[in-house]
């Protein structure tokens, strides 16, 4: 989360499942356990639990994650 003026902007982890290798590593490293690997769909993020810590962004070997504004 970061603040811009008086507005609070919520960031959440988003994944590009076209890039995802289904390695499952991010599921193991997420400190709040909010990632799920679905072999067919790829990684599913539980946006309500994500703390925007960036661990998955730094971990993913193919750069599939980014932190974006919550929808």
CA torsion 10-16-17-21 (nearest 10°) is -110
51 binds ligand SF4 (CB under 6 A): yes
Applying CB under 6 A, among 4, 7, 45, 70 the residue interacting with ligand SF4 is 45
Applying CB under 6 A, among 50, 66, 68, 69 the residue interacting with ligand SF4 is 50
Structure-block tokens of residue 46 = 């539980």
Cβ proximity to ligand SF4: between 2 and 22 the closer is 22
Q: Is residue 12 within 8 Å of 62, Cβ to Cβ?
A: no
Least CB distance from residue 18 to ligand SF4, whole Å? 10
Q: Is residue 13 within 8 Å of 45, Cβ to Cβ?
A: yes
d(C-alpha 43, C-alpha 19), whole Å: 11
Question: Which residues make up the interface to ligand SF4 (CB under 6 A)?
Answer: 13, 15, 20-26, 30, 32, 34-35, 37, 43, 45, 50-56, 59-60, 62, 64
């Amino acid at each position: 989360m970061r603040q811009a003026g008086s507005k609070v902007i919520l960031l959440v982890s988003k994944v590009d499942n076209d890039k995802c290798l289904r390695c499952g590593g991010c599921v193991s490293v997420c400190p709040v356990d909010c990632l799920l690997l679905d072999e067919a769909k790829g990684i599913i993020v539980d946006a309500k639990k994500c703390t925007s810590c960036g661990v998955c962004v730094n971990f993913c070997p193919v750069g599939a994650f980014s932190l974006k504004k919550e929808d």
